[in-house]
Structure 1
Amino acid sequence: MKTENIEDIYELSPIEKGILFHSLYTPEFGIYFFQMPFVFRGHLNLTAFEQAWQQVIERHTILRTGFYWEDINKPQQVVYRQVRVPLEQQDWRDIDLESQQEQLKSFLESDRKRGFDLSQECLMRLTLICLSEDFYQFIWSRHFLIIDGWSVPLVLKEFVQLYEGLCQGENVSLVPSIPYRKYIDWLQKQDIASAETFWRQTLSGLKTPTFLKYLDVENLSSQKEIYEEQRIYLSPATTDALQSLARQHHLTLSTLFQGAWAILLSRYSCENQVVYGCTVAGRPIELVTEEPIIGLFVNTLPVWVNVNPEQSLLVWLKQLQEQLVEMRQYEWTPLVDIQGWSEVPRSLPLFESILVYENAPIDRVLRDWQGSLEVENATIFSNSSSFYKTNYPIAIAVYPGSNFCIGIDYDFRRFDTATITGILQHFEILLQDIVTHPEANLKDLSLLTSKQQHLASKLEKEVAFNFV
């Protein structure tokens, strides 16, 4: 570490500490490593491209930050004054299309295996691959320690503005950025005693997590952790209906999807009270200003909800939303503290599933790019691996768009392919039934298609007739 290049040193946020621990404890699993690939078509100004990324890194301290933990009492993050943009360029123009696709798959895999040295000066890297004349594959790889999903569109928007300005020879005036340290200082001023009182009351009576099906519980510790992913896309009609229902009844889309998952958990566990984790943006209202602040704010919190089968769906959803809003004032609370304040034994997890509603406008920033380049395949999914990796047995991620996408990332030791396929099917059917019968009671919502319901009704009548 060259001390003359150090700008600042300060401690980690509780979220950073947790992710640092999991990253060091299971480095071979690639947890919290993210790849964002997309394609540029058009004349690319390489000089402006590199300079724009360099200016973005210079603007935000967290993009010039490394982490240290060895031989010190507490882990520290070190901000460096000067860091060069880690841009790697490759030329694949002499390779045919089929070979390019295979080579890209191989590159993405090796890039994930390469990972990051968490003490290095910049925990992200950029790769620009020329596939043909005016046709480029771009991969942005980064570690979750330095940037969460909400920060991604802020970074991309700044890059686009700076790139277009450099191409046109214009000076782009961006609002001053706020260093991530300001969030650390804000955290240290929060009333942890009030948070403890809130979470103890909220989770009072919760003694065990909502358990999910395991394939082989006895041999979990001896098996290698393997994460797989499946996803489905809802139809445009169902997507429009969900958005309409949310607007009409003043519900957030996140509430709708969380409600659906809670109902599924209740059906699967045969319990009326279920607990799952949900991710929150974690950005304090006090720090939300016109100036961008890039870093890791997102947090995962427990949602313990009573799924009363006799209750009206809409009434229940509004109560759930009120519960989620109430949690916002303490959404900064470290999950490890919440676990300690609950009645769930330390030997057990607080929950075994999480739901992520990814409403950060990443795709929109790229689609709305009005300039010399066209962006294609702008997606937050990697074509060869799951995008959203966690250390939970099952993570449901919902991605908005013209067709809602629901992805499930799961531990293959605990769930087989057929089980996850069934969960996704139930999720889709339940959402369709919610928009079709919003006035129904929870017990009347079905997990069967209309064809399956007809068959079940027919079999029920036949059985009844045989007993007459």
Structure 2
Amino acid sequence: MIQQTKRTLAEIPQRGIGYGLLRYLFNEPAVVPQAEPMVQFNYLGQWDNVSFDDADVSMPSARVLSLVDQVSVDPRNGRQHALEIEARITQGRFEIDWYFDDTILSSQEAQDIATRYSTTLDEIITHCSRATLVRVPSDYPDANLIDDELQDLINKAGAVPADIYPLSPTQKGILFQHLMSNDDTYILQYVLDIDGEIDISALQDAWRLMAERHPILRSGFYWDAVAGPLQYVSQEERSTWSVIAGGDDPMLFKRVMENDRSRGFDLETPALTRFTLLSHGAHAHKLIWTYHHILLDGWCVARVIKELFDLYDHLIRGDQPAPAFGGVYRDYIEWLADQGARENRPFWRNYLSGISPCVFTSTVAYQPATPADHAAYRFMLGHEQSRAIERFCVDHGVTVAVVFQRVWAQILAQNTGNHSPVFGWAISGRPADLDGAEDIIGLMTSIVPCTVDVAGASTVSGVRELQRRNAALQDEGHVSMSHFKSASGLSQEEELFNTVLVIENFELQDNLPAGDRYRLSNLQWVERSEFPLVLGLVPAEDFLIELNFNHEKFCVAQMADLQERIVLELARLSSLGNGNLEHDASLQCETIS
């Protein structure tokens, strides 16, 4: 009966406002009853306190309504219904006022009805308190589920979800790729060295507090709904933790990392995060954090690590962590819903008009991979050149990102002969008009097409114009990759670009947390990409550049060649204006997995 009542109420469009307009404003005959109902029930909602314009006047709602009834209602005013019931919640209490027409009901009859109502309400409350929690589709208004789909979701989740809502465009793309291939492309691993004492139980408790604050960390996914894929939030956090001794053995570390990746994740369950602590004695550890990219992006990794160990420090000291009131991932999903159909905007059709696909292939001969080769080629740019780039950006009012956009476009043009190359650019995806967006934990970054005209010589004014032109990409990037292809006139099977530029946001790379009895260091990460070649930059005192490549299409020798070209083009660009910068032949190169 309760479920049916909820369904009936949920099916009323716009909570019945249309009925009120038709009956009382337009007097529509189709909705005017032949006789007034005998009973009217009016729930007034939460009336914890009613304040008037006078700041000194503030009275509980029950008294206000009593005064209104005594003073404002003319005694000659007849009631439209034999029984009128008004209910509300006041200061945490459920209150009901009963009004009756004494020409139809006697005082005793009205009292009997109120008593039976109260008794029945007590029975319903007792039943609901003892019975298993039951949900109906109307409990999740953003999910657009039918009964069978909701029960199927609950069965797969193993419990009644706390919340259900749609996916972002980027999440939809990752889910699609996962269902098509189910490989380890979207499994990310971060590794921290921990020097000193660590209480694994307290660290687990800190993560549970993190998951309470950020529901995305206890989310799973459901894709069998007709209306589209959904994410649900589990009532409880379900990450897994393990501790392994012998953490100083490099082969053990490599084996644990590879085994953890090979396990993959079942996206239908909300256990999409794993932690492994490799310990060598009591004071030397490696913490391996493995998660699926559909939950988080690189932008918030630093925030997660800082907040996790801040909570850990509080628990170790016996302090109560301060409550967090920041934004959550649902806020971003709701923001997206308010934007309307972004695919209908003309921006990307105009931006990509006349653009040809840009597919990078190296001029260096491909050398088959050996067991010693890896799919990540990393090198430090050098302090001198890193400082020169920063000076150039400060002097000319541009960002590091736009410098690397220009440099990467120049290299692509040299390779392909296309003087307006297009490549992917990873944007933060944090909307300026969403309060607290910078602090939201979740997947908000996305890959957007970035085009650069390199037909003319590099100039400072040209770099500034590129920054101005591409500023709109941040605002317009909240659409799917399939939309970019359609906007450029390509089929979904065609490739618009095969390289991506990523400016990482690891601001804690040089400032990792440290507690009273531990210190974090040596942050490393392993990630794969669906794109064959990704150029990643971690700005720091000494810029770290990573070339993440598909070893079936590229090789280490080709990455070494790219390193030389990147260094050369950066030197040329950063020397524009007053500066000159020579190539640093002493650059050290390191390849790691």
Classify the TM-score, shorter chain: 0.7 to 0.9
Residue equivalent to 1:109: 258
Q: Give me the whole-angstrom Cα distance separating, in 2, the residues matched to 1:349 and 1:433.
A: 31
Matched with 1:413 is 552
The aligned amino acid for 1:42 is G
Whether the 8 Å contact between 2:343 and 2:483 is mirrored in structure 1 is no
- Deviation string 1:65-111 (CA, Å, 9 cap, x unpaired) is 01122475522211101124421122227xxx4xx111111111111
1:193 & 1:145 partners in 2: Cα distance? 21
CA distance in 2, matches of 1:309, 1:84: 55
| The one of 26, 29, 33 aligned to 2:181 | 26
Out of 300, 318, 326, which is 1:169 matched to? 318
2:189 counterpart of 1:35: yes
Question: What is the CA-CA distance between 1:282 and the residue it aligns to?
Answer: 0.3
Alignment partner, residue 212 of structure 2: 58
Instruction: Please tell me the residue identity of whatever aligns with 1:375.
Output: L
Match of 2:432 among 268, 280, 285: 285
The offset of 1:303, in angstroms, is 0.9
Aligned to 1:317: 463
Q: 1:67 to 1:365 in 2, by over 3 A?
A: farther
Q: 1:80 aligns with which of 234, 238, 258?
A: 234
**Equivalent-residue separation in structure 2 for 1:132 and 1:275 (angstroms):** 51
Alpha-carbon offset, residue 227 of structure 1: 7.6
SS in 2 for 1:154: helix
The answer for unaligned runs of 5 or more in structure 1 is 216-225, 382-386, 452-468
Work out the CA distance in 2 between the residues paired with 1:122 and 1:403: 37
Q: Which residue does the alignment assign to 2:329?
A: 180
TM-score (norm 2): 0.67
Whether contact under 8 Å (1:57, 1:85) holds in the other structure is no
Residue matched to 1:228: 375
Equivalent in the alignment of 2:497: 351
Deviation at 1:313, TM superposition (A): 2.0
Answer whether contact 2:402 2:467 (CA < 8 A) is retained.
yes
> For residues 294 and 362 of structure 1, what CA distance do their matches in structure 2 show?
16
1:8 aligns with 2:177: no
Partner of residue 155, structure 1: 304
> Which moved further from structure 2: 188-197 or 240-249?
188-197
Distance (Å, rounded) in 2 between the aligned partners of 1:172 and 1:291: 21
1:315 and 1:327 map into 2 onto residues whose CA distance is 20
What is the CA–CA distance in structure 1 between the aligned matches of 2:566 and 2:267, rounded to whole Å?
38
**Greater length-normalized contact order (CA 8 Å, ≥ 6 residues apart):** 1
1:375 corresponds to which of 489, 504, 520: 520
Residues 64, 405 of structure 1: alpha-carbon distance in 2 compared, 3 angstrom cutoff: same
Q: Unaligned stretches of 5+ in structure 2?
A: 1-154, 364-372, 586-593
Q: Would you say the 8 A contact 2:392–2:574 is kept in 1?
A: yes
CA deviation string 1:211-252 (max 9, x = no partner) = 22279xxxxxxxxxx982212211100011111111111111
Deviation sequence 1:150-200 (CA, Å, 0-9, x none):
121221121121111111111121422433222111111214358631111
Partner Cα distance (1:449, 1:42) in 2: 41
AA aligned to 1:27 is: N
Give the 3-state SS of the residue equivalent to 1:90 in structure 2: strand
Cα distance in 2, alignment partners of residues 191 and 394 from structure 1: 33
Q: Percent identity?
A: 28
User: What SS is found at the alignment partner of 2:164?
Assistant: strand
Matched, 1:269 2:416: yes
The offset of 1:334, in angstroms, is: 2.1
Alpha-carbon distance in structure 2 between the residues aligned to 1:195 and 1:439: 46
C-alpha distance in 2 between matches for 1:152 and 1:304: 28
Aligned length: 422
Point out the structure with max Rg over C-alpha.
2
Distance across 2 between alignment mates of 1:269 and 1:230:
22
Q: 1:317 to 1:266 in 2, by over 3 A?
A: same
2:23 is aligned to none
> Against the structure 1 CA distance between its residues 299 and 175, is the aligned structure 2 distance closer, same or farther, given a 3 Å change threshold?
same
Quick one: distance in 1 between partners of 2:374 and 2:350?
35
Distance apart, 1:277 and its partner CA: 0.8
Please state how far the C-alpha of 1:41 moved relative to its aligned partner: 1.1
Q: Amino acid of the residue matched to residue 381 of structure 2?
A: L
Distance across 2 between alignment mates of 1:290 and 1:332 = 14
Deviation at 1:388, TM superposition (A): 3.5
What is the CA distance between 1:45 and its match in structure 2?
2.4
SS state of the match for residue 233, structure 2? strand
Residue 211 of structure 1, aligned match among 359, 370, 385: 359
Is the 8 Å Cα contact of residues 343 and 479 (structure 2) preserved in structure 1? no
1:52 Cα deviation after fit = 0.7
CA distance 1:361–1:5, change in 2 (3 Å):
farther
Q: Which of 253, 258, 270 in structure 1 is aligned with 2:400? A: 253
Contact 1:152 1:362 in 2 (8 A): no
Q: Once superposed, what is the RMSD of the aligned Cα atoms?
A: 2.6
Question: Which residue in the other structure is 1:219 paired with?
Answer: none
Change (3 A) 1:361 1:354: same
Write the distance in 1 (CA, Å) between the matches of 2:577 and 2:404: 14
Q: CA deviation at 1:309?
A: 2.5
For residue 364 of structure 1, report the CA deviation from its aligned partner.
4.5
TM-aligned CA deviation for residue 3 of structure 1: 6.2
Change (3 A) 1:189 1:42: same
Distance 1:193 1:156, change over 3 A: closer
